[in-house]
Amino acid sequence: GENVEQHPSTLSVQEGDSAVIKCTYSDSASNYFPWYKQELGKGPQLIIDIRSNVGEKKDQRIAVTLNKTAKHFSLHITETQPEDSAVYFCAADSSSNTGKLIFGQGTTLQVKP
């Protein structure tokens, strides 16, 4: 069935260091891969997304890479800041083309000042 695995579940880095979160997906027909940041008491906020016709996308300190052959994608945050501390979720669209997103289990990122 449809599944997205996300690792690690927790990640602690020093301010200024880089953070990498990795996800694998099961449905080879998935074409859209968004990343969300969720702060305490808030809903998930879309921070970056990538489509299957692109291998890498960057937006300031955030970048996402996609390897369709291996069915995995990663989020890279450079020069981390304390305000980057949050729970991050990866997701993949369902092959049913209905906009259904399958989410990973989340990564709690802590950036220490």
Q: Minimum CB separation from another protein for residue 82, in Å? A: 22
Rounded CA separation 65/54 (Å): 8
Contact call for residues 30 and 43 (beta carbons, < 8 A): no
Q: Round the CA-based radius of gyration of the chain to a whole number and report it.
A: 14
Q: Minimum CB separation from another protein for residue 75, in Å? A: 14
Q: Catalog residues that contact another protein under the rule CB under 8 A.
A: 4, 6, 31-32, 34, 36, 41-46, 49, 51, 89, 91, 93-94, 96-106
Q: Minimum CB separation from another protein for residue 107, in Å? A: 10
Of residues 90 and 111, the one with the C-beta less far from another protein: 90
Rounded CA separation 5/88 (Å): 13
